Amino acid sequence: MASSAAAAAHSLATTLLLRRRLLLLSPRRHPTTLAPRRFRSSSSSSSPAAPPQPHPPGGRRLRGELRSTAMSSSTNSTVLAESVAAGSSGDVELLPFVNDKHGGVIVEMTTPMDPQLFSASLKASLSKWREQGIRGVWIKLPISLANLIQYAVEEGFWYHHAEETYLMLAYWLPATTHTLPVNATHRVGVGAFVMNDKREVLAVQEKSGVLRGLGVWKFPTGVVEPGEDINIGAVREVKEETGIDTEFVEVLAFRQSHKAFFDKSDLFFVCILRPLSFDITKQDSEIEAAQWMPVEEFAAQPFVQKHELVKYILEVGLAKEGPGQGLRIQ
């Protein structure tokens, strides 16, 4: 009799504890959430079967493989999540979300959450969104909540892209080929053609990269920062590498290449800049040397002679400087 009473007391304490955890750890609703606050979880026997999921971009069988291989490993998680829901009178808090402009929803997690509660909320949310005809689902997880990634992947989410502080996961609810846009495909670089009144071009030697230690003089180059215009990026790179102040004149040329940086494509813009100062102060961390170099000497380098793009840039840049400035590179 005493053992039965102790067991009953223990069961009651466990239920009360689960209730308290749900209240404390469930995320707050976003003020623009249009879905109802709570969704009553049904048993697995009465839940409609989830439609088959299409493959992610590139024809890879990622989602199908994840769903099948994760089935056994997610069984214990599902049982525990359902028991948590049952301990709170069958109610599961939906994940906070906002509607996007294309019939989807965006979940931006910001508050720490128990992984099992997250799993239960995610299952309930997906079921409700499927009923409402939602198509794409995005989950933005900050790096501090990386422990929740596994539970989203087990439900069929795939990696869309990652930045320094977060990972974006994606999911397609309809049983059709998904139309979610792919991640950014290009990186943008800039180069600067800067020439003074003495027919000298601004040239640098780099401390790193494929030209390191080869004694090759080249134009200042760099990568445009997020949200930065091409002309501003070119002026900034020249200032950082050489200390020379310049003003933008025009875009001289550009080229596109592929498989350049982690399989991304690359757009490279060469800009003509007019020098506003002439005393060089090189960037010690990245630049081995910098100088004003006679254009004929720059053009005579074997590297330039063999590099058709550099030869073209030099010829067009000199022609743009006006009559008498042209140089035909043999």
Catalytic residues: 240
Largest CA distance in the chain: 108
Q: What does the block give as tokens for 242?
A: 């050489």
Report which DSSP code applies to 117. Answer: H
The length of the chain in residues reads: 330
Question: Tokens for 303?
Answer: 């590297």
- How far is CA 42 from its chain centroid? 36
Between vectors from CA 92 to CA 47 and to CA 26, what angle results, nearest 5°?
A: 145
Buried b (16+ CB within 10 A) or exposed e, 266-282: bbbbbbbbebeeeebeb
Q: State the DSSP code for 207.
A: S
**Measured distance between the N- and C-terminal CA atoms of the chain, rounded to whole angstroms:** 103
